[in-house]
Structure 1
């Protein structure tokens, strides 16, 4: 996170410290909150387009443009219209991992049927070690979450001994996500430096989001990426933001309005997202 040094009058520092103590937060977080409110920036807000259930049902036409997404955040993940690859949003830029293995930067007019994005302002940071599997990654990240009942954004950076990703290839229109995932491309990278962009969603969100951890990867060279299936690393830097404000935009297309979203999609979504 960028840093700016300013010199405050002692009287203002005291007022800030008194108010921070009253709210039981740090002076730095109080200043950030005041600035964010002043410029109308939604801090600790997760903005989601459509639902995971709609994807499972085969509804993945263009709902918003990448340009519109970036009005609501600079960090997140999703997919592209027609399930054409995996989306990684990092530092205000949007990358598209293709089924061919190529990674490109998406234009502002590119379409997205599903995405989760936030203005990333982490409130916890540190490092995680001895990651031998995706399960280990989940366990290490658990230590940076204070609750199972809100959302979290997680950014992990470092050198990966091994990382396995998948990218869904564009299926025929209306194909269910579980069927589309059967023809996905899988990639394995060794000794690569990059970033995991992650969203953690609570159990109650399983009907409209990906329950638990959902990670996409982008290499520092911006030439390798995808939805993360497995990972190994010795040490990664981690920054985490608790997201207590959730905003959902639902599509108004005929395909979405007529889709059968009443069935239990949790098992189907888990199969598609976890690769089993």
Structure 2
């Protein structure tokens, strides 16, 4: 990450130190936010389209385009209209990973029912200890959060000993998320180089976001990937960003306006997102 060095007046320095002390954040944080505001650049903002509750209820119709998502981030994940595969956004490129195992660049006019994107600007990059399972990996990621009450973006790069992922298949008419992911495609790979992209979402936004960690994978050769169910690796590099601004774009479709989104969807999300006990393998 670039380093800025410049001279400022003593009075400005005093005001900067006071602002940092009052906010509880460091000087770098205050300066970054002030510059972003002055230059009208998004800073530490997670932009989400639609809600997890809507997804659980089967609202899979597209509500924004990939082109619109680009305006809000260069890094993230999501789904495509009709649940036609998984989305991963990495270094400004948006990919569609389909249930037949193919990967292609998404068109700007493709529609999206749910997505999370940000302009990724990690504050730290570290080497992770070897991990033998998804639980081991998530324990390491949890150890670096420091709080349960903010959002976090993560990028994991390296050669993975094992990756088990799933790709949602096109949903049938009126299917819920659990029903649609019951016929998802699942894939297993060993000794594969690639990148995982993901977010931590606090539990207090359940019904809006997907609580906990949510990771998507794409191989370096852009030939495979999906929603991560399990993995193992060593010499994996982690880049982590704390996100303190969350923006939600709610659909205005007739289906969304008429849907009953008042129910508790924790169990349905656990089954659909964590891959508990269903799917077919490849």
Q: Structure 1-normalised TM-score?
A: 0.93
> CA–CA distance in 1 between the matches of 2:270 and 2:108?
30
Task: Quote how far apart the aligned CAs of 1:164 are.
Answer: 0.6
Equivalent residue for 2:38? 38
Task: Quote how far apart the aligned CAs of 1:21 are.
Answer: 3.7
Unaligned runs of 5+ in 1: none
> CA–CA distance in 2 between the matches of 1:20 and 1:197?
34
Equivalent residue for 1:190? 190
The change in CA–CA distance for 1:13 and 1:145 in structure 2 (over 3 A counts) is farther
Question: Quick check: 1:134–1:230 contact (8 Å CA) kept in 2?
Answer: yes
> CA–CA distance in 1 between the matches of 2:79 and 2:11?
46
Q: Structure 2-normalised TM-score?
A: 0.91
Equivalent residue for 2:280? none
Task: Quote how far apart the aligned CAs of 1:200 are.
Answer: 0.4
Equivalent residue for 1:52? 52
Equivalent residue for 1:131? 131
> CA–CA distance in 2 between the matches of 1:204 and 1:72?
23
| Greater mean alpha carbon deviation, residues 28-37 or residues 112-121 | 28-37
Equivalent residue for 2:268? 268
Task: Quote how far apart the aligned CAs of 1:20 are.
Answer: 5.1
> CA–CA distance in 1 between the matches of 2:144 and 2:246?
20
Equivalent residue for 1:151? 151
> CA–CA distance in 1 between the matches of 2:156 and 2:12?
32
SS in 1 for 2:233: strand
Q: What is the aligned residue count? A: 272
CA RMSD of the aligned region, Å? 1.8
Out of 9, 12, 25, the position equivalent to 2:8 is 12
The change in CA–CA distance for 1:13 and 1:223 in structure 2 (over 3 A counts) is farther
> CA–CA distance in 2 between the matches of 1:77 and 1:7?
35
Equivalent residue for 1:110? 110
Task: Quote how far apart the aligned CAs of 1:26 are.
Answer: 5.4
Please list every run of at least 4 consecutive aligned residues from structure 1 whose deviation after the TM superposition is greater than 2 angstroms.
5-8, 11-22, 24-35
| Greater mean alpha carbon deviation, residues 14-23 or residues 37-46 | 14-23
